[in-house]
Amino acid sequence: MFTGIVTDIGRIIDTKVTGDLRARIGTGYDTTRIDIGASIACDGVCLTVVALGPEGWFDVEISGETVSKTNLSTWAPGKRINLERALKVGDELGGHIVSGHVDGLAEVVAVRPEGGSVRVTFRAPEGLAKFIAPKGSVALNGTSLTVNEVAGRDFGVNFIPHTQSATTWGEVAVGDLVNLEVDTMARYVARLREYD
């Protein structure tokens, strides 16, 4: 489990296909304090650490299923990604409960300055739009965010300057595909309503 509060911006060092996709990610985390088998959210995708380097890197393996449901196929050397270590009992829950199980891809359809912030409009896949509500939570590329408004499949989010600098959201552009995880509570409420 995660909170959607990004704690490091990693950098893709290398990727290779070995049946699955394997990626080496550079990090500011102290890798001597990461265990093999640990879970790290990488752009919102919960991935398992399979190798570590004392020079500040870790390796993950990504199944074809995960690649097909996320934007990880766009990973290339130099790409910056949002990272978050798994939640520990007693940690502050500053965002919302995030599983790291991406539901689909949202497309960036508009980006515009709004004061010191940036307003970004996303288009959700048809089947996921019903889970997104004004003032509700979403995780986008692993970042816990509050939805401002919803119009059909489109929804808007404001990125304050801190979020832009502490994550990769300062680099957002129209046409980007981002990993979308809908709020767990919204998913369960929708499922329960099927039995009313």
Mean pLDDT of 93-114: 91
Other CB atoms closer than 10 Å to residue 103's CB: what's the count? 20
Q: Please report, rounded to a whole number, the percentage of residues in the chain having pLDDT higher than 70.
A: 94
pLDDT digits 0-9 by tens, 117-157: 999 999 999 999 999 999 999 999 999 999 999 999 999 99
Torsions phi, psi of 170, nearest 5? -70, -10
Instruction: State how far the Cα of 71 lies from the Cα of 94, in Å rounded to an integer.
Output: 25
**Residue 165 to residue 97: CA distance in whole angstroms:** 23
Handedness of CA 126, 101, 96, 113 (dihedral sign): negative
User: pTM to 2 decimals?
Assistant: 0.93
Position 188 confidence tier, pLDDT thresholds 50, 70, 90? low
143 in Cβ contact with 167 (< 8 Å): yes
All domains in the chain, ordered by first residue: 8-85 (2.40.30.20), 104-193 (2.40.30.20)
Q: Provide the 3-class DSSP secondary structure of residue 116.
A: coil
At 187 the pLDDT is: 67
Which of the pair, 148 or 189, is modelled with greater confidence? 148
Which DSSP category does 115 fall into? T
How far is residue 118's CA from residue 120's CA, in Å, rounded to a whole number?
A: 6
Among candidate residues 112, 139, 110, 138, the one with its CA nearest the CA of residue 123: 110
Residue 175, number of CB atoms within 10 A of its CB: 8
**Which two three-digit tokens encode residue 81?**
């990604």
Both tokens of 181, joined, read 């995880």
